[in-house]
Amino acid sequence: MTITMKSRVNSRRSALILSVAVLGLGALATTAAWAQTTWPTKPVTLLVGFPPGGQTDFAGRALLNGLQSSLGQSFVIDNKAGVNGNIASIEVMRAAPDGNKLLVGNGSMTIMPHVYTKLGIVDPQKLTPIGTMLQSPLVLVVPASSPIKTYAQFVEEVKARDKSGKTVDYGS
């Protein structure tokens, strides 16, 4: 009987201590929340690594309009074209991590380290993606007069030219 009483007393005491601790943490969390400010507290720059008028610029401007109206703060587009968006990426990497400079990037960021191996390109894994703004398909085309009619034929042609030392010209 004594053992059962001790268990109940210990259980009640533990419950009381746990309750006080939880209430204390709740008060601390509420105080910490009051100390935080709402982002953004000043105008935010959206850096676009491509010239005005392109798809990435269009996506950034569409995002800008939505952000301004929903957050009530100024957002500015700053086009820093060059090296497949790397100039803008470097500026964002060097900026204070306060969320006031954001990068509007695209899929070319994933190939930059492989294409520009000697330029000190930003590793895209050192940036934190916030979200996907849009998706668009990529289309591979050749002149109608080309003997290449399928993707498999295109791959074979590239391999043949590689073996012979010829280059493959392309536009992107």
Higher pLDDT, 7 or 72: 72
pLDDT score for 93: 87
Of 10-19, 97-106, 143-152, the poorest mean pLDDT is in 10-19
pLDDT score for 114: 73
The answer to whether residue 15 scores a pLDDT higher than 50 is: no
- Polymer length in residues for the chain: 172
pLDDT score for 150: 94
Q: What are phi and psi of 89, to 5 degrees?
A: -60, -45
pLDDT score for 170: 77
Q: What are the extents of the domains in the chain?
A: 7-36, 44-126, 139-172
Indicate the class that CATH gives domain 44-126. Answer: alpha beta
Contact present, 96 and 40 (Cβ < 8 Å): no
The answer to whether residue 27 scores a pLDDT higher than 70 is: no
Q: What is the pTM of this model?
A: 0.60
Q: What average pLDDT does range 124-142 have in this prediction?
A: 83
Residue 149 pLDDT grade (very low, low, confident, very high; cuts 50, 70, 90): very high
Query: pLDDT of 52-96, one tens digit each?
Result: 998 899 999 998 988 999 998 999 999 999 888 888 988 998 899
| Sign (positive or negative) of CA dihedral 120, 123, 128, 131 | positive
CB under 8 Å to 3, separation ≥6 — which residues? none
